[in-house]
Structure 1
Amino acid sequence: MQLLLDANFHRSESWGAGEGPNGPPHRPTARSWEVAKDVVKPGMVAWAIDTFGPFKSLGTDGIFSALLQKVKDLLIGPLVRVFRTSIACKYIQLEWRTAKVVFIRKAGRVQHIIVKDFRPISLTSFVLKTLEKVVDRYLRDRIPQTSPLHTNQHAYRTGYSTESALHAAVAKIEARLEKGGNTQEKTPENLGNTDRILLPEVRRSTQEKDIPRLCQLEIPDPRELVQNAQCHENCNTIMTY
């Protein structure tokens, strides 16, 4: 169990149930509320809720997506107020930060005995996922207009993957060889491990892209999500609460 946690949440620490860091919220200003209202709009919240599959696996709060969709008209108003407050205060409540992590067996493996034979799925609150989708949509609609993504960014983009990154590198090498030149490329050992990108680097990038600071919600390090790990029978799954 600890090997799986160390490999997939390499900066994780164990916390007892109900414990963990929970810093004070930011004191909002008039400008904070303006940005929050610009980001969170009723139509965008409704759109985000509708994008979920109705019976996806739920997080630790027990709220499943079909419930949000069935009573969407009643929830839009309260959710808009809660989301705007979260952004204006730059604060994510501790209950939303708790994730359930399930390790499932990778297909096509003869045996499942080493860490790389399993992959983690993090199940977070659908309420938090709704807020994430709203903020993500806002950033994708606004930021690329003034600060486009680099053409060689293959992580966290639709239609891009480790395969496209390798293809781009190979194409560059082939082009140089066709011109009669020599080439020497260095491939990082952890190519494809985009889950190991450090939060300080993410924060630095958001500053370079001139993303509003209020959209940089105070989401903690992954180690703050791993609280009380339990290994189920035969270690088929591990859940953290």
Structure 2
Amino acid sequence: MGRGSPIPPMLRRKIVDQYQKGVSQRKIAKSLKLSSSTVHNIIQRFRESGTISVCKGQGRKTILDACDLRALRWHCITYRNATVMEITAWAQEYFQKTLSVNTIHRAIRRCRLKLYRSKKKPYLNMIQKRRRFLWAKAHLKWTVAKWKTVLWSDESKFEVLLGKLGCHVIRTKEDKDNSSCYQRSVQKPASLMVWGCMSACGMGSLHIWKGTINAESNASFELLISSSSSSYTFIPVSPTQLHTLVTPHPPPLTPLTIKEEEVNRLFKRLNTRKATGPDSVSPSLLKNCANQLSPVFTDIFNTSLETCHVPACFKISAIVPVPKKTKITGLNDYRPVALTSVVMKSFERLVLSYLKDITDPLLDPLQFAYRSNRSVDDAVILALHFILQHLDSPGSYARILFVDFSSAFNTIIPALLRDKLFQLNVPDSMCSWITDFLTDRRQFVRLGTHVSDLQHISTGSPQGCVLSPLLFSLYTNGCTSGHQSVKLLKFADDTTLIGLISDGDELAYRGTTNTKELKWEQNIRSLTKKAQQRMYFLRQLKKFLLPVKMLVNFYTAIIESILTSSITVWFAAATARDKAKLQCVIHSAEK
């Protein structure tokens, strides 16, 4: 039992007076309706101290004194976003004392601080509103044609990991609008800043911006208005730039034309340690004779692009089997690596750069292989983020399916790839060139000094070609998830399907929501929500003093029809609480 309230001083005085008159303790307790132990303790205290006052107990000594509390308060204000666990670890090290989390909780409250949910930054502060007003005032005389050259952009943030970082802050009640108590908008490297744009010509797609936008880095971009949490920017650009930025992914106006300087630069960058191809042309020869050979090969490359035909000598591959494992058990344990002409690889690099400029914005963002600034770590982190974020909800779990395609590059069908390239705005001439590049190829197997006969193939892309990784990514670009709760992540031919499943999954059939336990709470909640939304229109009609008959007709057609939807199915199994919710809507309509 807990400790009761103390005996009043007047009652203690009466006990002492009766004791001094010779009344026994048992009679005193019986007459005053107190316990014998209470009377005994009061008399015993009177004998020892001669007073009837209650001696102040020693109590539990405070672990943190006033000086310690001042240091704790300073630390909490300096590091407002620190968790209580982090503050406890700091306090134990700083004060050299054993402290619990509850002790720190009480100490924070003694410092007149409290853990609040941090407030989001203001949409626009006074300075930014002033800038917006002055800019609008300075452009009042702009014509419609001039406004069509303005691009509106919006900065957004994609949480990648640790999305709830900095959601709480330690502060006083008065520090609600303190800028240091706001939520942190950018959490590097846990988030990704993305820019979207909109203009009179339409809405563009999201673009990942590399670096910062300012007058020094790009003179054509004039940053006029920026907000702490969300930036809205007016960017005057030329009509040509506007078309380039706003149109999601326009095809290039001219086909690929290779310059002599590009070929010369590629030849001089060749790695002389690389193996030669079937034509026995070594990289060192091309590198040392780049100035003399680049004009010749430039004409050959441009002629090949114009005629959409790849020379037959460039389509020969020497297949070298490379073991995948240390212990070989079968032919599948070898990786068929194709050695192609060094000249053709240089040609492919020029085509690769051209294709990337066209197709990069249209590639699936969840494909992490063969792309710059992406790695295996990004794919694993994003997969874990999807799973952990879903598992934060109670009663949920995730199903993961790992798919690995065998001989992925060999499954590319040139005709299907051509259609996919055309859908990705690749020019028809380039589509024809790639189709010719993949068809009627010749290859032989080389194992030591042994060489097999030539074989003709018209399917697949050789492993070892410069274009093969990008062509495979474009070939599988349409393999995406069509369901919001299913995430499909790809790393080359390794595909991961993450199914985010809630334990309380419900199924809506013909407007009636039924859970797997065959309960109707979710269905009734959905019906009452829809009916309450339509009650707004009934109230507005009543304000216009419409006839009662018309209001009744509106209620019957718009509101009652929702409440009675499939009522014969669920009403008998509905609980009294759910029926009361329905009755509440009906009473509101009657008023």
Q: Return the TM-score normalized by structure 2.
A: 0.30
Q: What is the distance in 2 between the residues matched to 1:240 and 1:55?
A: 28
Q: What is the distance in 2 between the residues matched to 1:78 and 1:203?
A: 29
1:100 pairs with one of 318, 325, 336:
318
1:127 pairs with one of 328, 343, 351:
343
Do the aligned partners of 2:320 and 2:336 also contact (CA within 8 Å) in 1?
yes
1:52 aligns with 2:277: no
Q: What is the distance in 1 between the residues matched to 2:262 and 2:348?
A: 11
2:429 pairs with one of 209, 214, 239:
214
CA offsets 1:56-107 (integer angstroms, 9 cap, x no match): 1111111011111111101111111110000011101111111001112236
Larger strand proportion, structure 1 or 2? Answer: 2
> For residues 89-238 of structure 1, what are the structure 2 equivalents within 5 Å?
89-106=307-324, 109=326, 111-144=327-360, 147-158=361-372, 160=374, 165=379, 167-180=381-394, 181-190=396-405, 194-199=408-413, 200-216=415-431, 217=433, 218-221=436-439, 224-226=441-443, 228-229=444-445
CA deviation after TM superposition for structure 1 residue 155, in Å: 3.5
Q: Match for 2:278: what amino acid? A: T
Q: What is the distance in 2 between the residues matched to 1:163 and 1:99?
A: 33
The structure-2 alpha-carbon separation of the partners of 1:166 and 1:120, relative to structure 1 and needing over 3 Å to count, comes to farther
CA deviation after TM superposition for structure 1 residue 158, in Å: 4.0
Do the aligned partners of 2:358 and 2:426 also contact (CA within 8 Å) in 1?
no
CA offsets 1:5-50 (integer angstroms, 9 cap, x no match): xxxxxxxxxxxxxxxxxxxxxxxxxxxxx6242xx11122123223
The residue matched to 1:182 in structure 2 has which SS? strand
Do the aligned partners of 1:60 and 1:99 also contact (CA within 8 Å) in 2?
yes
Q: Which is greater in Rg?
A: 2
Q: What is the distance in 2 between the residues matched to 1:240 and 1:165?
A: 42
CA deviation after TM superposition for structure 1 residue 240, in Å: 6.7
Do the aligned partners of 2:260 and 2:294 also contact (CA within 8 Å) in 1?
yes
1:35 aligns with 2:255: yes
Q: What is the distance in 2 between the residues matched to 1:202 and 1:172?
A: 31
Do the aligned partners of 2:268 and 2:288 also contact (CA within 8 Å) in 1?
no
CA deviation after TM superposition for structure 1 residue 179, in Å: 2.7
The residue matched to 2:388 in structure 1 has which SS? helix
CA deviation after TM superposition for structure 1 residue 166, in Å: 5.1
Q: What is the distance in 2 between the residues matched to 1:143 and 1:194?
A: 20
Q: Match for 1:175: what amino acid? A: Q
How many aligned residue pairs are there?
196
Do the aligned partners of 2:318 and 2:445 also contact (CA within 8 Å) in 1?
no
- Give the CA RMSD over aligned residues: 2.9
The residue matched to 1:225 in structure 2 has which SS? strand
The structure-2 alpha-carbon separation of the partners of 1:201 and 1:126, relative to structure 1 and needing over 3 Å to count, comes to same
Q: What is the distance in 2 between the residues matched to 1:79 and 1:105?
A: 35
CA deviation after TM superposition for structure 1 residue 161, in Å: 6.0
1:64 aligns with 2:278: no
2:304 pairs with one of 86, 93, 105:
86
Q: Match for 1:225: what amino acid? A: R
Q: What is the distance in 1 between the residues matched to 2:311 and 2:332?
A: 33
Unaligned runs of 5+ in 2: 1-253, 455-591
CA deviation after TM superposition for structure 1 residue 232, in Å: 5.0
Q: What is the distance in 1 between the residues matched to 2:376 and 2:453?
A: 28
Do the aligned partners of 2:318 and 2:446 also contact (CA within 8 Å) in 1?
no
The residue matched to 1:44 in structure 2 has which SS? helix
Do the aligned partners of 1:96 and 1:125 also contact (CA within 8 Å) in 2?
yes
Do the aligned partners of 1:100 and 1:240 also contact (CA within 8 Å) in 2?
no
Q: What is the distance in 2 between the residues matched to 1:167 and 1:197?
A: 29
CA deviation after TM superposition for structure 1 residue 53, in Å: 0.8
The structure-2 alpha-carbon separation of the partners of 1:156 and 1:86, relative to structure 1 and needing over 3 Å to count, comes to same
Q: What is the distance in 2 between the residues matched to 1:55 and 1:219?
A: 26
Q: What is the distance in 2 between the residues matched to 1:105 and 1:69?
A: 31
Q: What is the distance in 1 between the residues matched to 2:380 and 2:411?
A: 18
* Further displaced range: 120-129 or 162-171: 162-171
The structure-2 alpha-carbon separation of the partners of 1:133 and 1:185, relative to structure 1 and needing over 3 Å to count, comes to same
Q: What is the distance in 2 between the residues matched to 1:171 and 1:240?
A: 51
CA deviation after TM superposition for structure 1 residue 137, in Å: 1.5
Q: Return the TM-score normalized by structure 1.
A: 0.68
The residue matched to 1:186 in structure 2 has which SS? strand
Q: Match for 1:48: what amino acid? A: L
